[in-house]
Amino acid sequence: MVTELEEKHGWWNLKLLDVSQTLDEHMYNWHVAGTVKYTNGFVVSIEKIELSDIKKAVRTVSNTTEWTGSVSGNIILRNVKVGFDVIVNLDGEPVQHYTGIYTHSQIRITCTIIKNINLNQYNVNAEISNLNVGNGVRMIYMPANHVTQVLARLYTPFSNWDSITSWCHEVIEPILLKLTEKIDFPNVCFACSN
């Protein structure tokens, strides 16, 4: 799966949704009012990729075994740097342009493949289960100035949750579905003639 993401899709193609903020703050004896738009977001780098908590299971409901098999686990992305073009439109000032880089210390995506053995059907799911922002971590803006000092304190990294959710559904789930061709699930046959 990791190879598929790296070689065929490319981490750099994982895009981030645009984020807009309205500012109306008093900071450093300065009233900051206007809008900020974070646009053209993408993954700059990922320091480390881990697979963890890989499990397999057979499901039982009301003391009856449903003949499903599942494989689940987590993809943990460590120190994920994301970049944005930042457009700042403050009241009474010309439009300003910056580049912003933010590092998420950890992104955890839980992945599951379930096979209904009787029907020979697969269901795949990938969902973000953790988005660590890090303690005291701020976005780094280039060039840096008094405006970016304010922006660094107001950027909300949890705004990236929806972007990562879209990676789960649009990129990772199709890869999981392809993996179903490679994963051997047991075949179960009752009163078979063969």
Domain that holds residue 125: 2-179
Of the candidates 83, 86, 169, 80, the one whose C-alpha atom is nearest the C-alpha of residue 133 is: 80
Q: Is residue 188 part of a domain?
A: no
Of the candidates 57, 169, 183, the one whose C-alpha atom is nearest the C-alpha of residue 109 is: 169
Q: Which long-range contacts (CB under 8 A, 24 or more apart) does 150-153 make?
A: 150/23, 150/25, 150/27, 150/28, 150/30, 150/32, 151/36, 151/86, 151/88, 151/98, 151/100, 153/27
CATH at residue 87: 3.15.10
Q: Is residue 143 part of a domain?
A: yes
Interatomic CA distance for residues 171 and 13, integer angstroms: 10
User: What value does the mean pLDDT of the chain take?
Assistant: 86
Tell me which residue has tokens 């990294």.
Answer: 157
Q: Is residue 78 part of a domain?
A: yes
Q: Is residue 39 part of a domain?
A: yes
Q: Is residue 189 part of a domain?
A: no
pLDDT digits (tens, 9 = 90+) for 98-124: 999 999 999 999 999 888 877 788 899
Of the candidates 31, 54, 55, 40, the one whose C-alpha atom is nearest the C-alpha of residue 146 is: 31
Tell me which residue has tokens 């300065």.
Answer: 30
Q: Is residue 185 part of a domain?
A: no
Q: Is residue 117 part of a domain?
A: yes
Burial label for 37, CB within 10 Å (0-12, 13-18, 19+), is: middle
- Total-model pTM: 0.82
Q: How many domains does the chain have?
A: 1
Q: Is residue 190 part of a domain?
A: no
pLDDT digits (tens, 9 = 90+) for 49-77: 888 887 766 666 677 666 777 888 999 99
